[in-house]
Amino acid sequence: MRTYIYILIVFLLVTCNNHKSKPIDIPNKKVAKQVDSILTFSYTLNIHDSNIINTSDRRIDLLYNGVEGFLNGKEVRGVRFHYEWIVVAPIQKYKNGLLFIKRLFITPNKIIFYKKDLNIGDSVDWIKDINYYRIEKKIIKFRFEGGNGIIRYVSQSCNDADFTNVQLYYNKGIIEIKNIINVTFFEYDLDNDGQNEQYLLGRRSCSQELVILRIIKTNSK
């Protein structure tokens, strides 16, 4: 019996020492944390709101809205641009879509926000636009494909932003958007159906708030 106990004790001591001397298996490579590099935003089609009058044959789509209190918008966390004056930043053609300040990529069906700037030059393929902030007039009149437009000053919002009203007159009816900040108007055939859609971009630099609206014929894609 004593011999059996002695053998058992020796076995346990040897097993314990082997366990202590066994090296810990630590990988040489650091484990990378998964960090999202993009944010994706879906479109809200055919919107209606007290700030919108639409008697035309076109629908209004809300592509993106980070403007607090406008069209039920609210601040979107994580969307920031390394650009001081976003009220004058241009829209650029990029691949099969449009790019805003090298990060906000507008496609026919969704918006992708890249958390790092894309490698594209500052002056590559600017979209011609009517920018209220750059023109600095209380009333701006302009023509576009299939209609006429007017932008009117309403009141001051902050040091770098005014509230404006936009009226677009088509062959069939009008569209009016009220109280949009520092509006920019441009046209572009983003869905490649052979006819331009109209876009309204409202923005302010101090808070980096941004809203994008698309106006499209109801028989379009």
pLDDT tens, position by position, 151-186: 999 988 777 778 999 999 999 999 999 999 999 999
The DSSP bridge partners found for residue 72 are none
In SS3 terms, the chain reads as CHHHHHHHHHHHHHHHHHHHHCCCCCCCCCCCCCCCCEEEEECECCCCCCCEEECCCEEEEEEEECCCCCCCCCCCCCCCCCCCCHHHCCEEEECCEEEECCCEEECCCEEEEECCCCCCCCCCCECCEEEHHHHCCCEEEEEECCEEEEEEEEEEEECCEEEEEEEEEECCCEEEEEEEECCEEEEECCCCCCCCEEEEEEEECCCCEEEEEEEEECCCC
For the ranges 27-41, 124-138, 162-176, 184-198, the lowest mean pLDDT is seen at 27-41
Q: What is the pLDDT of residues 196-210, one digit of tens each?
A: 999 999 998 778 889
In the Cβ-directed half-sphere of 47, how many Cα atoms lie within 13 Å?
Answer: 23
Residue 103 has pLDDT above 80, yes or no: yes
- Looking at residue 84, its pLDDT comes to 78
Q: 199 near 206, Cβ under 8 Å?
A: no
Question: Quick one: pLDDT at residue 160?
Answer: 72
Q: Is the dihedral of CA 57, 65, 67, 182 positive or negative?
A: negative
d(CA 31, CA 158): 46
Strand order in the sheet with 161-170: 52-54, 174-181, 161-170, 147-158, 139-144
| pLDDT exceeds 80 at position 20 | no
Q: Which is more confident, 70 or 158?
A: 70
Q: For the chain, which residues make up each domain, given as ranges?
A: 38-217
pLDDT at 27 over 80: no
Residue 211 pLDDT > 80: yes
Average pLDDT over residues 72-86: 83
Of residues 63, 34, 21, 12, the one with CA closest to residue 188: 63
Between these two residues, 147 and 25, which has the higher pLDDT value? Answer: 147
Global pTM reads 0.80
Q: Does 12 or 73 have the greater pLDDT score?
A: 73
Confidence (pLDDT) at 60: 97
Mean of all residue pLDDT scores within the chain: 82
Find, among 54, 58, 108, 43, the residue nearest to 217 by Cα. 58
Residue position matching structure tokens 């069939």: 172
pLDDT of residue 134: 83
Name the least confident of 82-86, 127-131, 186-190, 211-215: 82-86
Residue 14, pLDDT score:
41
For residues 40 and 217, give the distance between their C-alpha atoms in angstroms, rounded to a whole number: 25
pLDDT band per the 50, 70, 90 thresholds, residue 120: confident
pLDDT at 72: 86
Query: Rounded mean pLDDT of 96-120?
Result: 92
